[in-house]
């Protein structure tokens, strides 16, 4: 069957890779979604989940939501009736306007995250919520906020990381608390796989990237702060602290150095479980430089998450691994590194000063409160991905709570909604994608018509604004106008048509050296390693060698990383992916299982004060003793629960961010 049309587009999932895609449309209308061979990151391949999903449920009319739905059964029953867009939006508009008049916009909550990471679909709805003064459930609090705020306090910003192209000038690369083999599979395969510089990986799990590394420091979860200090002790003893750099560019080093004498490698081994000789080897290699440090999001999802990020982020400053080619750190590379003005995208000027933000950790309790009158969920699936799963679902059953959910599929969250609004997929509208790792600008090009009556997020909120009688021009700017403005901000003269022809450009075209001018955006203009700003944020003045106490009473630490077959909760309803996922498992070290009289395949019940979860046990020497691993984001329709049933929503030490990797559970055979 010959292709009639070939269209280049880009994957907008919550993934470092931002792969190029080729959509082939055959003469008989068959659509085939494959990798773009000209894309420099993915080189013609998509990951397994996207290959399956984009050719499966994403284009399956029977699986997708095709019309607006109105609830006709009890909340959570999943019983709905199709209605017209006019009827759905009219009814929602009337309720929202009544709430605004009686209780104010802050009684309307909205939750969103990374269901679609393209610029318009991921942010345009914020213009609407800013305009009505709704309460935003801060999306990053369920993921990476502690790390962002820690870096902002130290370095003045968190989204201007190293340029990956500078790896050709590095002597080593250290990856702390990230799993590229799952979260950035092509960057793992090519960017990391094709360099022969030594790789250090720091992670409690011996995942594929860790197994392929030259040095893997397999620390016990929650001991990252202690490990960073033990490495600094080695660097100090080796005379490799860059005192000239610290004197010129940093404040507060003396408050760190006075803590280092006690943090010897043997102390580090006792606290973290990492052999002292590996701590020494890794510290010396990193200090030699130039070294790149990739800080993932996993290690800051703990009780001491803010402190852990501060401690790890000491390493580049203490060793002068900043401001030169081949050195630097990366948490995320934000759209601002490509010139994008977020305030324009979100119409931040329309947000009233009284508008509130709450943490995801408080979502369940806020939904219980009668002060909350409505919740609108878009680009996320809170019944699957948020903490306190049982409590949250009970709160969503409130009959007096207006719930509106936008999605491609009838998710567990959508089952509780009063109105479900069908969103178009990324294959069905134009947008712009920018990787949060590489310096790329990519076109997301409409390749096929939307399924049924589904609409892009931005069009849904334009129509809702109109139904509510709002008239602000910002709420009605067209996609084409916004794309033109965004590309103009990123690269003056770049048109969408030109970008769509090539799919992706690297921009700026030549590599950037992070902090080349040492222009730290802190109040002092220097890197602030310690100081009163941290105290004001609720932390000690200086970072310290934190180590969370290990679980007692036979309990285990529960880690819930991403599965390579899921993207958050996306793809969890594709039958082929469900076959790949198999039965829901808990991974345990064989010695740990032996000691507990458990064996491969035993069904075990995990429990704590928040809830219980039954899984099948799988033995794996990749998991440290004292730890259980249960992958996150399984779908939870028909009353099923996933690992968030055990998540009490405790907050980390900074920014009301999550501490999901600090959960302890009991385990017993069923
Ligand atoms: S999820 Fe990531 S690896 Fe998979 S196709 Fe999309 S960008 Fe590529």
pLDDT digits (tens, 9 = 90+) for 582-599: 999 999 999 999 999 999
Q: Whose CA is nearest to atom 7 of ligand 1?
A: 18
Q: Whose CA is nearest to atom 4 of ligand 1?
A: 47
The three-state secondary structure class of 221 is coil
Mean pLDDT in residue range 505-520: 96
pLDDT at 638 over 80: no
pLDDT at 633 over 90: no
pLDDT digits (tens, 9 = 90+) for 451-478: 999 999 999 999 999 999 999 999 999 9
pLDDT digits (tens, 9 = 90+) for 181-197: 999 999 999 999 999 99
The three-state secondary structure class of 462 is helix
Choice from 47, 55, 118, 566 to test ligand 1 binding pocket (greatest atom count within 8 A of CB): 47
pTM above 0.75, yes or no: yes
Task: Output the DSSP codes for 342-383.
Answer: HHHHHTGGGS-TT--EEEGGGHHHHHHSTT--EEEEES--HH
Tokens of 146: 């502690």
**Are the beta carbons of 496 and 484 closer than 8 angstroms?**
yes
The three-state secondary structure class of 490 is helix
Q: Whose CA is nearest to atom 5 of ligand 1?
A: 46
**Gap from CA of 207 to ligand 1 centroid (Å):** 18
Q: What is the mean pLDDT of the chain?
A: 97
Pairing of strands 108-112, 135-138: parallel
| Ligand 1: lining residues by beta carbon, under 6 Å | 11, 13, 15, 17-19, 42, 46-47, 50, 185-186, 567
Per-residue model confidence (pLDDT) at position 372? 98
**Gap from CA of 13 to ligand 1 centroid (Å):** 6
**Gap from CA of 577 to ligand 1 centroid (Å):** 15
pLDDT digits (tens, 9 = 90+) for 308-350: 999 999 999 999 999 999 999 999 999 999 999 999 999 999 9
Mean pLDDT in residue range 251-275: 98
Per-residue model confidence (pLDDT) at position 157? 98
Mean pLDDT in residue range 47-71: 97
- Check whether the bond before 508 is cis (ω within 30° of 0): yes
Per-residue model confidence (pLDDT) at position 639? 79
Please give the Cα distance from 62 to 530 (Å, whole number).
56
The three-state secondary structure class of 455 is strand
Please give the Cα distance from 413 to 381 (Å, whole number).
6
Task: Output the DSSP codes for 517-529.
Answer: T----STTSSEES
Percent of the chain with pLDDT over 70: 100
How far are the Cα atoms of 39, 52, 300, 334 from residue 142, in angstroms, in the given order?
31, 27, 11, 18
pLDDT digits (tens, 9 = 90+) for 121-159: 999 999 999 999 999 999 999 999 999 999 999 999 999
**Gap from CA of 10 to ligand 1 centroid (Å):** 9
pLDDT digits (tens, 9 = 90+) for 399-444: 999 999 999 999 999 999 999 999 999 999 999 999 999 999 999 9
Per-residue model confidence (pLDDT) at position 3? 63
**Are the beta carbons of 255 and 530 closer than 8 angstroms?**
yes
- Strand order, beta sheet including 504-506: 431-433, 440-444, 504-506
Cross-strand pairs, 588: 619, 628
132-359-402 Cα angle (round to 5): 45
**Gap from CA of 652 to ligand 1 centroid (Å):** 29
């Amino acid at each position: 069957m010959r292709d009639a049309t070939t269209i280049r587009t880009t994957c907008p999932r919550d993934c470092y890779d931002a792969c190029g895609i080729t959509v082939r449309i055959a003469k008989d209308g068959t659509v085939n979604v494959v990798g773009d061979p000209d894309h420099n990151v993915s080189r013609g391949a998509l990951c397994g989940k996207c290959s399956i999903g984009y050719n499966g449920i994403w284009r399956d009319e029977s699986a997708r939501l095709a019309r607006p739905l109105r609830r006709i059964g009890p909340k959570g029953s999943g019983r709905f009736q199709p209605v017209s867009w006019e009827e759905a939006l009219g009814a929602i508009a009337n309720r929202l306007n009544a709430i605004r008049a009686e209780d104010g916009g802050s009684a309307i909550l909205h939750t969103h995250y990374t269901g679609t990471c393209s610029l318009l679909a991921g942010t345009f709805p914020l213009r609407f919520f800013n305009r009505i003064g709704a309460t935003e459930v801060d999306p990053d609090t369920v993921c990476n906020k502690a790390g962002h705020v820690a870096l902002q306090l130290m370095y003045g910003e968190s989204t201007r990381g190293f340029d990956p192209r500078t790896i050709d000038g590095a002597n080593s690369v250290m990856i702390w608390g990230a799993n590229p083999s799952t979260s950035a599979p092509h960057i793992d395969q090519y960017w990391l796989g094709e360099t022969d510089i030594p790789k250090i990986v720091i992670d409690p799990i011996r995942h594929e990237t860790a197994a392929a590394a030259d040095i893997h420091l397999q620390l016990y979860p929650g001991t990252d702060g202690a490990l960073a200090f033990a490495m600094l002790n080695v660097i100090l003893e080796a005379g490799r602290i860059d005192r000239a750099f610290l004197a010129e560019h940093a404040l507060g080093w003396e408050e760190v150095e006075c803590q280092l004498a006690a943090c010897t490698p043997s102390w580090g081994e006792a606290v973290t479980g990492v052999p002292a000789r590996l701590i020494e080897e890794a510290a010396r290699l990193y200090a030699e430089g130039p070294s790149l440090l990739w800080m993932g999001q996993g290690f800051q999802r703990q009780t001491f998450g803010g402190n852990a990020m501060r401690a790890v982020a000491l390493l580049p400053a203490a060793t002068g691994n900043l401001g030169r080619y081949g050195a630097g750190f990366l948490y995320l590379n934000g759209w601002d590194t490509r010139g994008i003005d977020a305030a324009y995208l979100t119409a931040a000027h329309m947000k009233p000063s009284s508008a509130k933000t709450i943490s995801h950790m408080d979502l369940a309790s806020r939904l219980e409160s009668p002060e909350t009158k409505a919740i609108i969920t878009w680009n996320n699936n809170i019944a699957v991905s948020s903490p306190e799963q049982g409590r949250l679902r009970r709160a969503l059953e409130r009959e007096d709570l207006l719930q509106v959910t936008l999605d491609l599929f009838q998710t567990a969250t959508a089952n509780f909604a009063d109105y479900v609004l069908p969103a178009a997929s990324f294959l069905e509208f134009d947008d712009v994608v920018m990787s949060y790792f590489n310096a790329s600008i990519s076109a997301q090009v409409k390749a096929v018509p939307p399924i049924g009556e589904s609409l892009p997020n931005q069009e849904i909120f334009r129509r809702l604004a109109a139904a509510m009688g709002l008239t602000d021009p910002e709420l009605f700017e067209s996609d084409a106008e916004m794309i033109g403005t965004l590309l103009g901000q990123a690269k003056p003269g770049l048109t969408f048509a030109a970008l769509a022809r090539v799919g992706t450009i690297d921009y700026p075209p030549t590599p950037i050296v992070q902090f080349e001018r040492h222009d730290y955006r802190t109040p002092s203009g220097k890197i602030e390693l310690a100081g009163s700003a941290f105290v004001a944020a609720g932390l000690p003045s200086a970072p310290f060698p934190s180590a969370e106490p290990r679980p007692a009473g036979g309990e285990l630490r529960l880690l819930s990383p991403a599965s390579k077959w899921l993207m958050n909760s996306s793809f969890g309803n594709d039958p082929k992916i469900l076959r790949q996922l198999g039965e829901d498992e808990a991974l345990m070290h064989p010695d740990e299982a032996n000691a507990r009289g458990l064996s491969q395949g035993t069904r075990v019940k995990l429990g704590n004060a928040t809830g219980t979860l039954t899984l099948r046990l799988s033995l794996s020497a990749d998991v440290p003793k004292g730890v259980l691993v249960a992958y996150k984001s399984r779908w939870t329709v028909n009353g099923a629960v996933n690992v968030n049933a055990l998540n009490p929503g405790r907050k980390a030490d900074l920014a009301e961010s999550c501490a999901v990797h600090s959960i302890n559970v009991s385990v017993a055979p069923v």
